[in-house]
Structure 1
Amino acid sequence: MNTLPVAVIGAGPIGLITALGLVAHGVPVVVFEAGDDLSAETKAGTILSRTLEVLDRYDALGPVLEASLRLDEIGELDRATGTSTGSVLTSALAGETRFPFVVNIPQHELEPVLAAVLEERAPGALRMRHRLVDFSQHSSGVTLQLSTPDGPVSAEAAYVLGCDGGRSTVRERLGVPVTGHTLEQRYVLVDLVCDLDVGNPRDYPYLAYFGDREEWMVLVRQPHCWRFVFPLSGPEPSADELRDKALRFIGEVDELKVLGSNVYTVHHRVAERWRDSRVFLLGDAAHLITPMWALGLNTGVLDASNLPWRLAWVYRGWASPAILEGYEREQKPVAVNGSGELAEAARAVMDRRLESVAGWSDAMTRTLLGVRLSDSTMVRAPGPLQVGDRVPDLRVFGPRGPVHLHELCRDSFVALHVTDARRRPVLRDLDGLRQVVVSRWDAPHDSGLRDRAYFDPGATVRERLGDVAVLLRPDAHVAHIEPWTAESCQHIRNRYLQEVCLEG
């Protein structure tokens, strides 16, 4: 195993989550952050279900949930009348995920939670006041030049992951152009303290989109305040003007205090290349996506879900370095087309040019549970499981009790053979691949399958997936699926070797 660490540049949410992913897979990591402190700005505030699943896989979800506000309704309201035009109820996804909800937590409260988990798992990995100046690549790694309060220092890394935001130094040093467009319209985000629960009850959903052709608004209930987001025309408003704007939406209240605000420009801009040999771009360094519908941070987390396991397989010698090429190939279409499509839909709904429809498909789409890798759309409709889909996190029962499909593949490729355990299918593993049987008939004790058999009472998995063999990746996406036959075990082994680029 390579002993040099992976260097993550930037300690924003994407950098910290990426680092936690590397730690979860046993890869040494160091995070270099230019600032004296973590972000204090009022930024991204909603974490979607797919991101919750990633945090759970990286053993970081508990502390984030403790600091967050959970909600199971994304409300759509007409600005003029204040009436609901339909809500996306995430409870419709109770059969899809262990987390059929989203959470609200502002970025300046999220980052310290993630940093604390990283310090617990990898003490000393986060290096504040280390600003990247330059780097040079060579055959065995990357040499970084950094500035610190104590003077310049150099560091060696096996790979460099640029998670340093829209003005990425890593991207600039690589000379990678960014293409796309910037919207003329700016948005303003303001955090306010007011009582909308007791003294002035409004009963708004904790995440409410007030659509209007003239003046729309997003209302977000944060753990300690309310957040308002709306389009800005003209100069940056004063605190009094922000207060008056909020009151025009919610009506008069007893008291309202402005905590802080942030004016930002909306982009849909994507780096032309996300990789240069041992250096990668993630999050805003790779793609600037409108934060509407919480697409900014959560699209970046999809990057942080895809790359760490690939690096782990290379570190362990289980995969060829060619496996790293799949990162950009899969994630770029998600950002360019998928998130772009949703961003345009979000603006159309807010401008009342498009009606939002509430249902299972909308819940899957809005929580990013419906993401299919390498796809040009994030809008998901019911249908059979396909390669690139995230597998539903269905419950089965192992020898000692319940377990979910995502738990089975946390740090391994897993092949699910959905068939009859009584027939004793022959299953053989490889480094990084575990093959198991999922059956509504529990494996007999003399079958030789007790340690790799998962009981499926009521054939829930079989009803959902069919009589199939499914190869799942460590990020819970489907790498291969075929009707089950006696030859499926060997087919899966061959497909796994192709996935990790050890066989053509």
Structure 2
Amino acid sequence: MNTTNLPVAVIGAGPIGLITALGLVSHGVPVVVFEAGDDLSGETRAGTILTRTLEVLDRYGALEPVLAASLRIDEIGELDRATGTSTGSVLTSALAGETRFPFVINVPQHELEPVLAAVLEERAPGALRMRHRLVDFEQHDDGVTLHLSTPDGNVEVAAAYVLACDGGRSTVRERLGVEVSGHTLEQRYMLVDLVCDLDVGNPRDYPYLAYFGDREEWMVLVRQPHCWRFVFPLDPGRPAPESDELRDKARHFIGEVDELKVLGSNVYTVHHRVASSWRRDRVFLMGDAAHLITPMWALGLNTGVLDASNLPWRLAWVYRGWASEKLLEGYETEQAPLAVNGSAEMAEAARAVMDRRLESVAGWSDAMTRTLLGVRLGDSSLVREPGPPRVGDRVPDLRVFGLRGAVHLHELCRDSFVGLHLTDARRRPPFGPDPAGLRQVVVSRWDAPHDSGLRDRAYFDPGSSVRERLGLGDVAVLLRPDGHVAFVEPWTARSWCNVRDQYLREVCLEG
């Protein structure tokens, strides 16, 4: 097999599989997605997408249609269930200086998946193969052979790599023999979608995402584009309520309303389980196949999207010959601690807040944490405190000006490593040729003179706003294609060489 001519096979066309496929397409990597079902998911499932996921969708060219199908939210409300009074809100407007998307959105999974699939079809026609069920696979030194069951019989497909996005009961994980450890909560979650008028006939003025905490029985209220969603706990062993009981339960939370119509419901078993290994040679586990995290605080889907942000660019660098295979080891090294520790700690905090065992706080740090903008690779933390960005942090998506107008830092590094040299462009900082996959630029409040030789490398920073926000002084910063900081050092005349050498170390080539 010659992997340079083979696609990456994604198993499963849920949100993580589709977003991962879009990431590969955006990096020019051939991809095919195999989905066992006749149709995409029709179940009442995940419904809130956090800011960090919006940034990933933007990077992969899929944000605009997702926003069109969604409701935008600038407040994550917390209320006391017994009194209906606010106990505080996380206001995402506090993030206006950090991101182009200072909000979260609500869109149910069964409405999100067709949007993602349509974008994939537009950008990679025929990449999504429905009714293709994975039966087995064999790995080789230079590829993977997949055995699939289809309506037309069994087929074999050759792939360079296999990405398992096939959920908590992953066939791929089972075939690999990978163990899963953790625990399952005795308490289950009941989710029900209801049509009711809380805007005009029975105005309530609830936030579009509201957590009603209570020691006895909490509830989450989510405004979806076409309905209201209620989530509440079910005691162990209790059967799922019927429609009449669900309507009564909703009235118990929100009071009398004119009419309630049940659209659908689902009962979730709540897990915190993580695979013991996320990679075996050319096969990778992603999303629920690698980690089952409570959906509270939208941690399930959005933790999976962090996987879909991390792996595609690594595969692209290997495909292009810009990196060694060793670069792929960083996927599990960085993502597993976030699931095992970061998301797990947030899940426990979420349950404690809902059970009134812990008070939540509101402010910039809470907004960063609750939107996953606080993700820090390397130490598994999702909690972001004010201060200069460190290695592993997501860099703020700040605005600078190129020769054609405004551009943001995340746009600069969308398909490249970028070395930012925050220093005086008038002093002609030395640059040389960069290796493939790296672009180095100068960011300065002094526009590069026309005779400096830096015009195509210079970005104007009026008032040194980027420099001030980063709080690092004259520095060189290496950014990865996923927007995370890979290297920081005080700026010197050797910084171009140092950033280049660090890039080569990052992609596991000799520096």
TM-score tier, shorter chain, comes to over 0.9
Tell me the CA shift for residue 281 of structure 1.
0.3
Could you say which residue in structure 1 is the equivalent of 2:456?
Answer: 451
SS in 1 for 2:79: strand
C-alpha distance after superposition, 1:24-79 (max 9, x if no partner): 00000000000000000000000000000000000000000000000100000001
Could you say which residue in structure 2 is the equivalent of 1:19?
Answer: 21
C-alpha distance after superposition, 1:77-107 (max 9, x if no partner): 0011111000000000000000000000000
SS in 1 for 2:5: coil
Once the two structures are superposed, the pairs formed by residues 78-477 of structure 1 within 5 Å of their partners are 78-233=80-235, 234-428=238-432, 429-465=434-470, 466=472, 467-477=474-484
Separation in 1 of the partners of 2:176 and 2:71? Answer: 39
Tell me the CA shift for residue 409 of structure 1.
0.2
Tell me the CA shift for residue 503 of structure 1.
1.8
Separation in 2 of the partners of 1:374 and 1:231? Answer: 34
Separation in 2 of the partners of 1:483 and 1:184? Answer: 52
C-alpha distance after superposition, 1:444-498 (max 9, x if no partner): 0111000010000010111122221000000000010111111111110110000
Tell me the CA shift for residue 384 of structure 1.
1.8
List 4+ stretches of structure 1 deviating above 3 A: none
Separation in 2 of the partners of 1:382 and 1:335? Answer: 23
Separation in 1 of the partners of 2:384 and 2:451? Answer: 43
The residue type paired with residue 155 of structure 1 is V
Separation in 2 of the partners of 1:457 and 1:384? Answer: 19
Tell me the CA shift for residue 374 of structure 1.
2.4
SS in 1 for 2:4: coil
The residue type paired with residue 468 of structure 2 is E
The residue type paired with residue 261 of structure 1 is S
SS in 2 for 1:273: coil
Separation in 2 of the partners of 1:427 and 1:361? Answer: 37
Separation in 1 of the partners of 2:380 and 2:450? Answer: 47
Separation in 1 of the partners of 2:357 and 2:428? Answer: 57
SS in 1 for 2:477: strand
SS in 1 for 2:439: strand
The residue type paired with residue 373 of structure 1 is L
Separation in 2 of the partners of 1:377 and 1:398? Answer: 34
The residue type paired with residue 194 of structure 2 is L
The residue type paired with residue 375 of structure 2 is V
Separation in 1 of the partners of 2:233 and 2:41? Answer: 23
Normalising to structure 1: TM-score of the pair?
0.99
C-alpha distance after superposition, 1:157-206 (max 9, x if no partner): 00000000000001000000000000010000000000000000000000
Could you say which residue in structure 2 is the equivalent of 1:33?
Answer: 35
Tell whether 2:471 aligns with 1:485.
Answer: no
Q: For structure 2, list consecutive stretches of 5 or more residues without a partner in the other structure.
A: none
More displaced stretch, 373-382 vs 494-503: 373-382
The residue type paired with residue 477 of structure 1 is H
Separation in 1 of the partners of 2:430 and 2:70? Answer: 46
More displaced stretch, 231-240 vs 387-396: 231-240
The residue type paired with residue 434 of structure 1 is R
Separation in 1 of the partners of 2:151 and 2:380? Answer: 45
Q: For structure 1, list consecutive stretches of 5 or more residues without a partner in the other structure.
A: none
C-alpha distance after superposition, 1:205-257 (max 9, x if no partner): 00000000001000000000000000012111111111110110000000000
Could you say which residue in structure 2 is the equivalent of 1:66?
Answer: 68
Separation in 2 of the partners of 1:109 and 1:405? Answer: 31
Separation in 1 of the partners of 2:245 and 2:192? Answer: 11
Separation in 1 of the partners of 2:495 and 2:31? Answer: 37
The count of aligned residue pairs is: 504
Separation in 2 of the partners of 1:377 and 1:232? Answer: 31
Separation in 2 of the partners of 1:243 and 1:269? Answer: 33
Q: Is the 8 A contact 1:299 1:335 kept in 2?
A: yes
C-alpha distance after superposition, 1:241-281 (max 9, x if no partner): 11110110000000000000000110000000000000000
C-alpha distance after superposition, 1:292-338 (max 9, x if no partner): 00000000000000000000000000000000000000000000000
The residue type paired with residue 418 of structure 1 is L
Separation in 2 of the partners of 1:336 and 1:106? Answer: 26
Separation in 2 of the partners of 1:447 and 1:376? Answer: 42
CA RMSD of aligned residues (A): 0.7
Separation in 2 of the partners of 1:6 and 1:12? Answer: 16
SS in 1 for 2:300: helix
Separation in 1 of the partners of 2:479 and 2:156? Answer: 39
C-alpha distance after superposition, 1:358-414 (max 9, x if no partner): 000000000000000122321111122110000000000001100000000000000
SS in 2 for 1:2: helix
SS in 2 for 1:82: coil
Separation in 2 of the partners of 1:312 and 1:378? Answer: 26
Q: Is the 8 A contact 1:341 1:377 kept in 2?
A: no
Separation in 1 of the partners of 2:58 and 2:160? Answer: 26
Separation in 1 of the partners of 2:67 and 2:126? Answer: 24
Report sequence identity in percent: 85
